[in-house]
Structure 1
Amino acid sequence: MFLELIATFVIGFGVAGLILIVNAMTGRRLPGAVLPVGAGLAMIGFTIWSEYNWYPRTLAQLPEGIEIISTNESQAVYRPWTYVTPFVDRFAAVDKARIRRNENVPEQVMVPVVFMGRWAPGAEIPVVVDCVESRRADLADGIEFDEVGALVNADWIAVEADDPLLEAVCT
């Protein structure tokens, strides 16, 4: 976030410098408002570009095996252009390369679910998905496994059969 703020100011100063050069080359014929308006528009434009390109840039940096299961599109009154085209500001994904299965309990699959947000640090939560009964449980403190490896005291959450997490992990 701090680096984007610095980049925004650098863009503003750079455009202001270009406007000063053009103004000097034209014999100082540009109106006085061109400099602040031009620099301001350049900074707003860079901010908008950065918001809309965060998601594709982040996806490009993810390792193989990551599958997106949900995204959140943002709209805000103070960003009226988002009502025309919302942008993705956070998403959830599963790391399919790190799926773990227990031969004794084949219907249950353990997988890390990764949460990424535009202005938030990434988080990872281990989740057990029961593919047969369409349910999931977050692995939290106090969760225990029995002698065959099945969850004992988990808080199961029922999910629909077409839930993206279920589809990503169970197919």
Structure 2
Amino acid sequence: MIWHLIAAVFAALGAAGIGLILRMASGNRLPKWIIPVFAGLGMLGYQIHYEYSWLDHKLEQLPPTARVVQTEQDSMPWRPWTYLYPLTVAFSVVDQSSMVAREANDQQLVEFILYRFEKEYVDRLSHQPYLMNCATAEMVPLSEETRQPRTEAMRRLNEGSRLLEAVCSPW
């Protein structure tokens, strides 16, 4: 967090320097307020760049076996540019190297962990183990401690689901 503040300050200083050079190049005909306007635009530009590159930055940190199965985009009134280009605020990932395949009653079962990343002032990461029946496309969460299925929370996925493809395609 502190590094983003430092980067925003340097972006403001750099943009203010550009404003100062423009003012000096015009023979001081440009108004003085151009310098703080450029500083503000530099900070705003850095913040917008950081917010839109957040997903790419997080994906670079993940192992090559991680597959994105869902992204969530949102628009916010205090960020009016997000109405034109919605901002990615969360995504879910399955690490294919940690999946465990089993067979029960002639059906392919895969145990996996679904990771969810959320962009907030401090990034949030949550994870939940699941058991997927690849034949019926049913997914059930497992309890953290005992790894027993919680059947009351079972749900069925659509046939074209990216999660179903990521979990069941390697087997």
Does structure 2 retain, via aligned residues, the 8 Å contact 1:143–1:154?
no
**C-alpha separation between the residues in 2 aligned to 1:102 and 1:167?**
17
1:56-75 alignment, distance < 5 Å: 56-75=56-75
Q: Does 1:118 align with 2:119?
A: yes
- What TM-score do you get using the length of structure 2 for normalisation? 0.82
RMSD: 2.3
- Say if 1:86 and 1:40 are closer, same or farther in 2 by CA, change over 3 A: same
The range that moved more, 118-127 or 18-27, is: 18-27
CA distance in 1, matches of 2:17, 2:145: 60
Alignment of 1:44 with 2:44, yes or no, is yes
Q: CA deviation at 1:30?
A: 2.5
The change in CA–CA distance for 1:98 and 1:60 in structure 2 (over 3 A counts) is: same
Match runs of 1:81-120 below 5 Å: 81-103=81-103, 107-119=108-120, 120=123
Q: CA deviation at 1:24?
A: 4.3
User: Displacement of 1:125 after TM fit?
Assistant: 1.9
Deviation at 1:143, TM superposition (A): 3.9
Percentage identity across paired residues of the two chains:
30
Partner Cα separation in structure 2 for residue 102 and residue 135 of structure 1: 15
1:25-69 per-residue CA deviation (whole Å, 9 max, x = no partner) reads: 554333011011111111111111111111122222321111111
Aligned equivalents of 1:157 and 1:135: distance in 2? Answer: 7
> Structure 1 residues 112 and 3, CA, compared in 2 at 3 Å: closer, same or farther?
same
Matched positions, count: 165
Unpaired segments ≥5 residues, structure 2? none
More displaced stretch, 2-11 vs 59-68: 2-11
C-alpha distance 144-29 of structure 1, shift in aligned 2 (>3 A): closer
The one of 141, 161, 164 aligned to 2:162 = 164
Q: TM (normalized to structure 1)?
A: 0.82
Most deviating of 27-36 and 40-49: 27-36
- 2:37 is the counterpart of 1:34: no
2:76 corresponds in structure 1 to 76
Structure-2 change in CA distance of 1:61 and 1:40 (3 Å): same
Distance, in Å, in 2 between the alignment partners of 1:87 and 1:144 is 35
Distance in 1 separating the partners of 2:25 and 2:153: 70
